[in-house]
């Protein structure tokens, strides 16, 4: 019952943030304005320098849900076996 009424927080990585931003047809600055953060922060998230936490991650999830955004990460590439 603790999570009722709260948006489900996805684990946001750089690719999913960039995909959401493109889905919304926004620049980094425009997404930053919606989230109340800096454009540089969006850039740092997209390049995996940092990951969004707390309220930022929740807001990303709310925005994604409202935009009916579904992100399916590609499975990790398998490295060739060394012989």
CB of 71 closer than 8 Å to CB of 18: no
At 10, list the tokens. 């996805």
Question: Of the candidates 54, 46, 41, which has an alpha carbon nearest to the alpha carbon of residue 9?
Answer: 54
pTM above 0.95, yes or no: no
Alpha-carbon distance of 41 to 34, in angstroms, equals: 13
Domain ranges of the chain: 14-66
Q: Which fold has domain 14-66?
A: 434 Repressor (Amino-terminal Domain) (1.10.260)
pLDDT at 32 over 90: yes
Q: Please compute the mean of the pLDDT values over residues 11-33 and round it to a whole number.
A: 95
pLDDT at 27 over 90: yes
With bands split at pLDDT 50, 70 and 90, how would you rate the model's confidence at 18?
very high
CB of 19 closer than 8 Å to CB of 67: no
């Amino acid at each position: 019952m603790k999570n009722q009424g709260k948006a489900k927080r996805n684990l946001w990585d750089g690719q999913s943030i960039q995909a959401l931003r493109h889905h919304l047809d926004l620049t980094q600055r425009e997404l930053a304005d919606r989230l109340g953060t800096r454009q540089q922060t969006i850039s740092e998230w997209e390049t995996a320098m940092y990951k969004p936490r707390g309220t930022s991650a929740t807001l990303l999830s709310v925005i994604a849900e409202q935009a009916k955004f579904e992100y399916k990460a590609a499975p990790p590439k398998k490295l060739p076996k060394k012989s």
